[in-house]
Chains A and B, each alone.
Chain A
C-alpha cells in the first residue's frame, strides 16, 4: 500500500507580533491556501483539527468545503470532530454537502472528544447525554446514527396526513462512498480494539491518554494507539473500501 502524508493544522490565531494569523479570518483563509500549496507539492491530504471555545479551528464543514472547491486531488479531512458537540443528522447533511462539493475526497476523523477549555461545552450546545449514557457512550451512539444517515438509511418516518407513514426517509444529500471514509480517533487501547471490532478506520494521534509506550504487535486491532490504519478490519490486513 502506498504511504500517504498530509498536513494537520490546528488553525491557531492570536494577536502576537510574530503571528501571521492575527485573526480567525487569517487562520481560515491561510488553511485553504496551505491546502492549495500542499496539493501543488504532491502532498496527499489537508486535515484540520476541531476544537471548540478556543481561538482555533472549530466548525469544520465550511472550511472543508472551501478546500474542496480550491483543490482537485488531495484528501480533505478532520482530526478529529468531537461527536459530543454534533447533531448526527445535521452533521450527515453537512458532511455530504462538503464531500459532494469536493468530489468525494473527505476523510473524516471523529471521536468522543479530547480535554478542552470549556466545562461540558457540549451541554451548552444542547447535547447533554441522556440518562443512563456516559459522554463516551453518547458519542458512540451518535456515531451509529451518523453512519446510518450517511449510508442512506431511513432515519425518520414520512408524514402521511399528519401521521407517521411506513416509509422511512434518508437525509439528503447522500454522497456515495462517504461511509467508507470515516475514521475513529482513538486515544486509548480499549477504544482502538472497539474500532477494529466495528470495522471502522482508525486514526491515532500524538496523544495517548495513558502513559504507555507504543508497542508494535502483530495483532491488528490490538495495535492500540500505535498506528493509524486504514481498514482496521479485525483479523485482516486488507484495506477497507475506500480505494
Chain B
C-alpha cells in the first residue's frame, strides 16, 4: 500500500506542498478513469489523525511512502524523520528497536 504523506513543518514545505490535497486524485490514464489514491499534506498532527482513519492503510501491514526524490537526500530524510516521529505512531507503527551494542 502506498500513499503520499507530506507533513508541513517548515516554510519550504509550505512553499512546495502548501496547498491542501487531502482528497483522492482522479485522472485519465490508460484510456479510463483511474484513481490515484490519496496525498496527505498538512500539519503532522492533522495528517496523523486523517491517516489513522484511512481504511486501506489500516488493513495493510506495510505502508510505503512515496518520496519527492528530486528534492534531495537531506529533504527526504527530514521528511521521513518527521513522519517517524509525528505521523506513523498514529497508524500503530513503532520504530524497530535498535540492536543492543555488542549483540
Q: How many residues of chain B are within 8 Å of chain A by beta carbon?
A: 47
Q: Which 10 A-B pairs have the closest CB atoms?
A: A206-B37, A42-B95, A20-B72, A227-B59, A228-B1, A211-B33, A37-B77, A8-B64, A115-B30, A228-B60
Contact of A207 among B35, B81, B94 (CB under 8 A): B35
Most central of B4, B61, B63 by chain A CB within 10 Å: B61
Contact A227 B80 (CB under 8 A): no
Interface bits B69-102 vs A (CB < 8 Å: 1, else 0): 1111101110011011000100111111011000
Nearest A residue (CB) for B94? A2
Q: How many residues of chain A are within 8 Å of chain B by beta carbon?
A: 56
A221 to chain B, nearest CB (A): 13
Contact of A229 among B59, B73, B99 (CB under 8 A): B59
- Assembled-state Cα–Cα distance A44/B84 (Å): 10
A209 and B30 contact, Cβ closer than 8 Å, known pairs A42-B95, A43-B80: yes
Q: Does B9 reach chain A (CB closer than 8 Å)? A: no
B64 to chain A, nearest CB (A): 4
B67 to chain A, nearest CB (A): 5
Interface bits B3-46 vs A (CB < 8 Å: 1, else 0): 11000000000000000000010100110111111100000000
- Assembled-state Cα–Cα distance A213/B37 (Å): 9
Q: List 30 A-B contacts (CB under 8 A).
A: A2-B93, A3-B88, A3-B91, A5-B83, A6-B62, A7-B65, A8-B64, A9-B67, A12-B70, A14-B70, A18-B70, A20-B71, A33-B73, A37-B73, A37-B76, A44-B62, A45-B64, A205-B2, A207-B29, A207-B35, A208-B34, A209-B30, A211-B35, A216-B56, A228-B2, A228-B62, A228-B63, A228-B64, A229-B61, A239-B61
